[in-house]
Amino acid sequence: MSASQAGPSRTTLHTPASPTAQQSYIDPAAAPLASPQLANRINLVTYKQSTIKALIDPSLPVQDVIRQLCANAHLGVQEPPALFALRDDDNDELIDDANMAKKIEAGANFKLCSSPTIEAADMVDKLGSRDERVLKMATYTLQRLIREAPFTNEFVARGGVRELLNVIRNHSSGNTLAYALTSCQNLMEGFEYGWDIIDADIVAKVVNLLVSQERINVCRPATAILKKLVVSGPQDSPKMGRVLTDGSGAASAAPPPVYRYGFDFVYAEFQREPLFLQTLTNRIGSSDTTLKLYSLSLINSLLRNVSDELFESFTSELEKLNASKAVAWLMDSHRGDELASSILDYQTNVIRTAHRRMRTAVTPTDKRHVHALSYIWLQAKISDVVVPNKNPAQTTLNGASRTAGGATTRYKWRRIGFASESAAKEFGRTGWLGLLCLESFVRSDPDLYAKIILEQINRPEERRCMFARASIEVTSILADHWDIESGSFTASTSYLPFLLSLTKVHNLALRFFLRMWNESGAAASDFSRVSALVRSQVHDALGKQDEVSRTWIDLEDAFLHSEYRTVRDRQIKELEVDEDYNSKASIRNLRGRIYRESYEFVRQQRIQCLLEGAWFRNVVASSAVGAGAMGAKQRRGSTSTVETTNTAMPTISNGATAPTKPWRFYRLAPNKKFLYFCDSSDRVPIRGGLDDLPDRIDLSLVTEISHHGGAATGGGSGGAATGRELVISLLQSPDVCVAEMQALNASQLSEWTDGLNMLRDEGGVVSTRETADLINMLTEIGIKVKMLDLTGEQIELPATVQAPPLPSTTEFFFAEL
């Protein structure tokens, strides 16, 4: 390499006048550069106290550049190039083939220094020193060097990790310990090899340091080391490990040996330090943000990796230490900062824990479950009762009867509100979570619990609120609200601080359930109605807005002081404005069923109108040619299809004389096959039955019922008909009319048109808007009644009721269906 030659394919060095000068400088007589672009690539290279200006080709390998630099006389390098490396003079970053071009373009200054191999060998020697000053400087430098793969490879190969662990083992405080822990942390986080020699003694030492030390620079790396060990279990190993080579040179795939730790390995050391979890929980409230982050991350890792055998004991211990309360405080004081991800991760772990408990069946063989049930029973401060069976006679499997004289039934769990004596089976929906919530309520105020049970026992059986069943129902409502049962664990982007206090929210909601029961005067059959009220209140109190915006005072006020009438009114409004519930399959099925019920009710009402009978106007002959079906077909008379016992009775036919009397009374026969009628000059009283109706129409001949007039849109409610309006036509065929009748008002037109249609075999035809609106209205009311389970309780009847005005007409009747 020539100092006077400059070109894009070579490294050009401009040397100082004297290579031994104490002050480095750039030779002013350097050869002129070929172009301004090359001028931007001039880099200074320093070795010891000498500095040169170099024009380095970025396409060259780093080793070639180092070899040429070592050969330059101005730097005065005496050792072989293999002992050197190139680093950024500003930040000591190791230069390799991946970053050299970028550094050159940026105009970085370089320094020639010892290679990673030399540095690793020197570092291992220093870590074995007994001089505290040497150890301190070595561990300080190691924090940076151990992030570099070339150095780490040599460091691990020369036994440097063992020396590093010895430094940790032999120190209990000070900066040397902090630097050594940080170096170990950097090794574990950056590489999947080298630290598999960490044993239980080192873990115990780190756990002890975490409990006994208050210095942040010691607690930070110690916490990070423990977290890395927790997430390095066999189940965390990648599918394909590093490629190992045996003595024969054959390659075999195996998981990295560092994946041999995991939760059980670390937790065994935790248990030897009783204050460990308490200290870790307290650190969540540290003033140092990084320590908060590390502590919360370690807790999250423990929750995610806890084994099935230790799950319940570990999570219960965390709950006793109020870890959730500490995280809830973080939610309120650190919004949108670097802790957000860990806070949401903890929130997801809480949901996962609740889901797991919900799926854990309550069994009489689990000591924890038995203990909880025993505590609940004892705190009720009541005794079981034995009641003689009312029906001692029993039937055997083969149908024979046997007498169980003196047989009795024991009432124990049913006395505190279970539906049966198999208390464990009552928690089928909510599992161990439901029992935990019930136990938590009892423990929060045993005297209140005993008072509630005694109050319910002293009530008539049909007025009692089944306390245990209510507790299970409230747990189920809260699980639905926070989507615990689904098990999806999709991380929410919003904080749910009340979720972290699930048992306390259950306590408030259960008290609300009992209060609504009492204030509404509910009976045993109203359980689902009160449950719907509680569900509505939970949705409103916890509901649509961000939970962080509400305080515990707000929540307590919502559950403890909300009035029954206010809650009920809001519940009804929710149903009116809810646009989503109609799309649910269960609601669609309910709507279909209630629609069929409403249709049948209206059908029976319409047919009752026909059976009762009504007066109609006779349509004059001059208007006999009128609207056909749907008002668009022209009707013509035909040969009479009217059976008559009176030969003088006029018929409807082509050229026939019109009815001579203006009024006709129609009544459906009880067999619903004939429509009887009689003509009259005036509307006179008609006796029940068919004696006063000599003529009839065979309805089997009617193929179509059509109507004409404004009543098709459900218009008036009693206005008199004029002209061809409100006419009902019974058609045998499109051009043959059996009979025509003119209704007195729109309601009568709707009743008889749809009533006659509903009589026919095909049925289901609703041709007037009034009938359709009535069916839809009954359907909507029915849906709301089913969803609210309305019973009409707490309805205040006024002492005096102002009578409404009298109806304008008496042309109606009410049928008791």
Length of the chain counted residue by residue: 817
DSSP 552: H
Note the pLDDT tens digit of each residue in 206-229. 999 999 999 999 999 999 999 999
Banded model confidence at residue 148, pLDDT cuts 50, 70, 90:
very high
Pairing of strands 42-47, 110-114: parallel
Q: 809: left (phi > 0), else alpha (psi -120 to 50), else beta?
A: beta
* Torsion angle of the four alpha carbons 787, 789, 795, 801, in this order, in degrees rounded to the nearest 10: 70
Residues of the chain above pLDDT 90, percent: 47
Beta carbons of 757 and 767 less than 8 angstroms apart = yes
**H-helix segments, 51-147:** 62-71, 100-105, 116-127, 132-145
Which of 421, 423, 337 shows the shortest CA–CA distance to 372?
Answer: 423
Exposed, middle or buried, 397 (CB in 10 Å: 0-12/13-18/19+)?
exposed
Per CATH, the number for 119-242+254-358 is 1.25.10.10
Identify the pLDDT of residue 397.
39
The DSSP bridge partners found for residue 697 are 642, 675
Give DSSP secondary structure letters for 27-49: -TTPPPPS-HHHHTTEEEEEETT
Around Cβ 365, how many Cβ atoms within 10 Å? Answer: 7
Instruction: Report how far Cα 532 is from the mean position of its chain's Cα atoms.
Output: 19
The more confident residue out of 117 and 38 is: 117
Identify the pLDDT of residue 579.
53
Q: Can you tell me the distance from the alpha carbon of 225 to that of 178, in angstroms, rounded to the nearest whole number? A: 12
Q: What is the mean pLDDT of residues 151-169?
A: 95
Q: What is the mean pLDDT of residues 389-412?
A: 54
Note the pLDDT tens digit of each residue in 276-300. 999 999 999 888 888 998 999 999 9
Which of 163, 154, 214, 208 shows the shortest CA–CA distance to 184?
Answer: 163
Residue with the two structure tokens 């942040």 = 216
Identify the pLDDT of residue 737.
84
The more confident residue out of 11 and 327 is: 327
Which of 342, 206, 334 shows the shortest CA–CA distance to 269?
Answer: 206
CATH 3.30.420.40 fits 593-782, yes or no: no
Identify the pLDDT of residue 26.
35
Q: What is the mean pLDDT of residues 528-534?
A: 92
- CATH entry, 12-114, from 3.10.20.90, 3.30.1300.10, 2.40.10.10, 3.40.50.150: 3.10.20.90
- Show Cβ contacts of residue 404 under 8 Å, excluding neighbours closer than 6 positions: 389, 392, 393, 394
Would you say residue 398 has pLDDT above 80?
A: no
C-alpha distance from residue 57 to each of 32, 70, 104, 480 (Å) = 17, 16, 9, 66
Beta carbons of 461 and 519 less than 8 angstroms apart = no
Identify the pLDDT of residue 390.
62
Q: 118: left (phi > 0), else alpha (psi -120 to 50), else beta?
A: alpha
Beta carbons of 334 and 343 less than 8 angstroms apart = yes
Q: What is the mean pLDDT of residues 303-330?
A: 92
Banded model confidence at residue 487, pLDDT cuts 50, 70, 90:
low
| Residue range(s) in the chain whose domain bears CATH number 3.10.20.90 | 12-114
Pairing of strands 614-618, 408-411: unpaired
Would you say residue 240 has pLDDT above 50?
A: no
Lowest mean pLDDT across 99-108, 376-385, 497-506, 798-807? 798-807
Would you say residue 39 has pLDDT above 50?
A: no
Beta carbons of 51 and 44 less than 8 angstroms apart = yes
Which of 750, 712, 698, 697 shows the shortest CA–CA distance to 627?
Answer: 712
| Residue range(s) in the chain whose domain bears CATH number 1.25.10.10 | 119-242+254-358
Residue with the two structure tokens 């009804």 = 572
Q: Can you tell me the distance from the alpha carbon of 747 to that of 755, in angstroms, rounded to the nearest whole number? A: 12
Identify the pLDDT of residue 796.
63
Would you say residue 533 has pLDDT above 70?
A: yes
Identify the pLDDT of residue 780.
85
Would you say residue 629 has pLDDT above 50?
A: no
Q: What is the mean pLDDT of residues 238-254?
A: 48
**H-helix segments, 500-639:** 502-520, 527-542, 552-560, 564-577, 585-612
Element (H, E) at 680: strand 674-680
Lowest mean pLDDT across 341-345, 406-410, 608-612? 406-410
Give DSSP secondary structure letters for 156-167: HHTTHHHHHHHH
Identify the pLDDT of residue 581.
60
Banded model confidence at residue 545, pLDDT cuts 50, 70, 90:
low
Would you say residue 427 has pLDDT above 60?
A: yes
Q: What b/e sequence results for 47-59 when a residue is b if at least 16 CB atoms lie within 10 Å of its CB, and e otherwise?
A: beebbbbbbbbee
**H-helix segments, 231-366:** 263-270, 276-283, 289-305, 311-320, 323-333, 340-358
Q: Can you tell me the distance from the alpha carbon of 727 to that of 746, in angstroms, rounded to the nearest whole number? A: 10
Around Cβ 131, how many Cβ atoms within 10 Å? Answer: 10
Note the pLDDT tens digit of each residue in 6-15. 333 344 444 4
Which of 335, 299, 276, 369 shows the shortest CA–CA distance to 497?
Answer: 335
Banded model confidence at residue 793, pLDDT cuts 50, 70, 90:
low
Note the pLDDT tens digit of each residue in 667-718. 999 988 899 999 998 898 898 889 889 888 988 778 778 777 644 433 333 4
- Show Cβ contacts of residue 445 under 8 Å, excluding neighbours closer than 6 positions: none
Identify the pLDDT of residue 76.
87
Residue with the two structure tokens 């929906």 = 429
Q: What is the mean pLDDT of residues 288-316?
A: 92
Triad 772, 775, 779: Cα angle to 5°: 135
Specify the amino acid at residue 181: L
Would you say residue 28 has pLDDT above 50?
A: no
Which of 789, 636, 617 shows the shortest CA–CA distance to 709?
Answer: 617
Note the pLDDT tens digit of each residue in 62-85. 999 999 999 988 888 889 999 999
Instruction: Report how far Cα 236 is from the mean position of its chain's Cα atoms.
Output: 27
Token digits for 725?
Answer: 């309006």
Beta carbons of 31 and 6 less than 8 angstroms apart = yes
Identify the pLDDT of residue 18.
39
Q: What is the mean pLDDT of residues 569-587?
A: 70
Highest mean pLDDT among 399-403, 482-486, 514-518, 773-777: 514-518
Banded model confidence at residue 815, pLDDT cuts 50, 70, 90:
low
Q: Can you tell me the distance from the alpha carbon of 663 to that of 600, in angstroms, rounded to the nearest whole number? A: 31
Q: Can you tell me the distance from the alpha carbon of 682 to that of 602, in angstroms, rounded to the nearest whole number? A: 31
Exposed, middle or buried, 133 (CB in 10 Å: 0-12/13-18/19+)?
exposed
Triad 318, 324, 326: Cα angle to 5°: 105
The more confident residue out of 497 and 817 is: 497
Banded model confidence at residue 578, pLDDT cuts 50, 70, 90:
low
Residues of the chain above pLDDT 70, percent: 78
Q: Can you tell me the distance from the alpha carbon of 220 to that of 177, in angstroms, rounded to the nearest whole number? A: 12
Start-to-end CA span in the chain (Å): 113
Identify the pLDDT of residue 709.
62
Pairing of strands 50-55, 42-47: antiparallel
Q: Can you tell me the distance from the alpha carbon of 303 to that of 313, in angstroms, rounded to the nearest whole number? A: 12
Q: Can you tell me the distance from the alpha carbon of 733 to that of 691, in angstroms, rounded to the nearest whole number? A: 30
Which of 375, 253, 233, 225 shows the shortest CA–CA distance to 307?
Answer: 233
- Show Cβ contacts of residue 142 under 8 Å, excluding neighbours closer than 6 positions: 123, 127, 164, 179, 180, 183
Give DSSP secondary structure letters for 183-227: HHHHHHHH-SSS-TT--HHHHHHHHHHHHH---HHHHHHHHHHHH
The more confident residue out of 487 and 509 is: 509
Would you say residue 381 has pLDDT above 90?
A: yes
Which of 638, 636, 634 shows the shortest CA–CA distance to 653?
Answer: 638
The more confident residue out of 656 and 614 is: 614
Identify the pLDDT of residue 229.
95
Banded model confidence at residue 768, pLDDT cuts 50, 70, 90:
confident
Beta carbons of 147 and 106 less than 8 angstroms apart = no
Identify the pLDDT of residue 761.
57
Q: What is the mean pLDDT of residues 100-120?
A: 91
Identify the pLDDT of residue 207.
95
Token digits for 157?
Answer: 């190969």
C-alpha distance from residue 295 to each of 223, 330, 448 (Å) = 6, 13, 38
Identify the pLDDT of residue 193.
92
